[in-house]
Structure 1
Amino acid sequence: MTDIKKDWYLLYCKGKEELRALTNLKNQGIDSFFPTMKVERKVRNKLTSKEVVIFPNYLFVEIDKETANFNSIRSTRGVIDFVKCGANYTKVPVALVAELKVKQLCRDKSADEVTEYNAGEQVIIQEGPFKGIEAIYQCKDGLERAVLLINLIHNVTTMSVANAEIKSKLAR
């Protein structure tokens, strides 16, 4: 029984075609990875989440140097060539790729949790006429709004506020 030794290599891809290259490499049975992260941006007063590539135009591939067809990988749609140092293909340390994968999972989880609040959680309104007022999160009011309980002039009132306008009091 032979021990298969796979190493991670770095590919240079065509502009904004990392996903295309990733799909075509997976179709060939090649394990590949490119780190992304979710970025929340405010566009037209709406909080939107977008997947952004951390290393644009680069893709990591795990292959066995002895059995892999480097020409086939290089000719894959979306791929330009392997990153080289002189005549040698650049190997990427396994630990680095593993750490990037773990960090991406952590980032993805934390990005999902940013807009999720629990009933009873204290929040602060970040924008609008009630900016700076502390409130208590009650529930969702559709996809982009939340129902808050606020104390105005010694009178507790319920109001609906855009999710983009509130922030957890603990996240200060």
Structure 2
Amino acid sequence: MFSLTSNSSGNFLELWSSHAVVRIVTQSAAALALLDKPVWFCLRAEPKREHLAAISLRRQFGVECLSPRLRFRKLTQRGPIWFVEAMFPGYLFARFNYATQRRAVESSHGIRGIVRFGDRLATLPDDTITALRSHAGIDEVVTIDASLKIGQPVHIIEGPFRGLEVVITQVLPAKERIRVLLDFLGRSMEIDVSTAKVLPA
């Protein structure tokens, strides 16, 4: 989502995700048309196709893109599954020359257009992209660390207590096992469980 704030030298935007905040500067389309160098833009993309849109831009037009994604494990009816989703759903970042490449970029597969506010376009400083790249890594995928902590509720996903929600009472020294408190047949008891057999609730 965007939050728009004002500054004496122009407008600044922030694009928020659950794992990053990107600062965006708006610039007028007229000023960008006079620049003879590539600039980083925030683009709107088809939802759940951000990564494919970035691949298309790279292959078709040689445009440098950044479309960071999040990798996380989630409990489903079939058991725990790894998911990969866009860090900024519906958006990606691309570096191109506005005057010469805008039409090609905006007509590219999966791209809905440059993010704009009236005649002002959303651009990103190079240092913002550098920071985001260092966070996302070379493959542009951030694996969400599901570190387990004392007091955290978790679901048991394997074994005789499968499906129960329990609370962690101790992280055991080997770090691959935890002790949890569960209510079973009207009694509270602690058991040791492998961390591979639980997911955060």
TM-score range with shorter-chain normalisation? 0.5 to 0.7
- Deviations 1:20-62, CA, capped at 9 Å, x for gaps: 3112101121111122111211123732211121211111001
Q: Is the 8 A contact 1:126 1:165 kept in 2?
A: no
2:129 maps to: 97
User: What TM-score results when the alignment is normalised by the length of structure 2?
Assistant: 0.53
The correspondence for 1:124, drawn from 166, 173, 178, is: 178
Give the count of matched residue pairs.
133
The correspondence for 1:80, drawn from 112, 120, 130, is: 112
Identity within the alignment, %? 17
Which region of structure 1 is more displaced relative to structure 2, 27-36 or 90-99? 90-99
* Structure 1 residue runs without a partner (length 5+): 136-160, 168-172
1:21 maps to: 53
More strand by share: 2
Q: Is the 8 A contact 2:40 2:93 kept in 1?
A: yes
Q: Is the 8 A contact 2:43 2:93 kept in 1?
A: yes
Q: Confirm whether residue 35 of structure 1 aligns to residue 93 of structure 2.
A: no
Please state how far the C-alpha of 1:107 moved relative to its aligned partner: 7.2
Q: Confirm whether residue 10 of structure 1 aligns to residue 42 of structure 2.
A: yes
- Deviations 1:114-149, CA, capped at 9 Å, x for gaps: 69xxxx8242155888x74347xxxxxxxxxxxxxx
1:57 maps to: 90
User: What is the alpha-carbon distance in structure 2 between the residues aligned to residue 107 and residue 70 of structure 1?
Assistant: 27
User: What TM-score results when the alignment is normalised by the length of structure 1?
Assistant: 0.61
1:72/1:37 Cα in 2 relative to 1: closer, same or farther (>3 Å)?
same
User: What is the alpha-carbon distance in structure 1 between the residues aligned to residue 106 and residue 174 of structure 2?
Assistant: 52
Please state how far the C-alpha of 1:6 moved relative to its aligned partner: 3.0
User: What is the alpha-carbon distance in structure 2 between the residues aligned to residue 70 and residue 166 of structure 1?
Assistant: 45
Secondary structure of the structure 2 residue equivalent to 1:39: strand
User: What is the alpha-carbon distance in structure 1 between the residues aligned to residue 116 and residue 86 of structure 2?
Assistant: 22
Q: Is the 8 A contact 1:8 1:94 kept in 2?
A: yes
More helix by share: 1
> Structure 2: which amino acid aligns with 1:85?
F
* Structure 2 residue runs without a partner (length 5+): 1-35, 149-172
User: What is the alpha-carbon distance in structure 2 between the residues aligned to residue 74 and residue 25 of structure 1?
Assistant: 10
Secondary structure of the structure 2 residue equivalent to 1:90: strand
1:90/1:36 Cα in 2 relative to 1: closer, same or farther (>3 Å)?
same
> Structure 2: which amino acid aligns with 1:88?
R
Cα RMSD (Å): 3.5
1:133 maps to: 191
User: What is the alpha-carbon distance in structure 2 between the residues aligned to residue 79 and residue 70 of structure 1?
Assistant: 11
- Deviations 1:70-111, CA, capped at 9 Å, x for gaps: 001000011111112322322112222222222223973564
Please state how far the C-alpha of 1:14 moved relative to its aligned partner: 2.1
